[in-house]
Amino acid sequence: MPGEQTKEGKEKKAQEDRRSESKEVKLPMYSEVTRREGMVKYSLVQRASAFLNSLVKNYDKTGKIAINPQFDLADDFQEGLARIKLGDKWGYIDKNGKRVINPQFEDAKDFQEGLARVQLGSKWGYIDKNGNRIINPQFDYAWDFKEGLAGIQLGDKYGYIDKNGKIVSKP
């Protein structure tokens, strides 16, 4: 009958299934090196029990460790600051590893044109490099500023705002 496997086909499939079940899954050590703004970020991800741990070191131009591993996640530097995650909150550090904006956001993105978009609760807004709220979280989603404008979403509508939060193209 069409769609029915032969005895040989069934045996072959059973062997393949046994082989795939018996394969030990090994997560390889993974390292990543990125360079930005005079810093080199080296990330090492390794398997520890059932969890993935990320150890991040940042090196200066001379190869000296500038920032020791202390964060759950750390991103590249953008406009002098890097996003960091501690627990379930995001904040920012400078190139010396000093926390300039304490982790307090559900999500945070890189700085673009002097502002970073951040999520507080379920809403998105923008902060400056000192952590001041320049545009209060009020959008369902927001995008980075480019040429002085950023896309925003309110419900199922989209529009643009300027750096003062003024809607220049209504959603």
Q: For the chain, how many structural domains are there in total?
A: 2
Res 51: pLDDT: 29
31 has pLDDT over 60: no
Q: Is residue 88 part of a domain?
A: yes
Distance CA 73, CA 91 (A): 10
- Give the residues across from 161 on adjacent strands: 150, 167
**Which structural domain range is residue 126 located in?**
110-171
pLDDT in tens, 63-79: 666 666 788 888 888 99
Q: Is residue 6 part of a domain?
A: no
Same structural domain for residues 30 and 90? Answer: yes
pLDDT in tens, 103-147: 999 999 999 999 999 999 999 999 999 999 999 999 999 999 999
Same structural domain for residues 48 and 100? Answer: yes
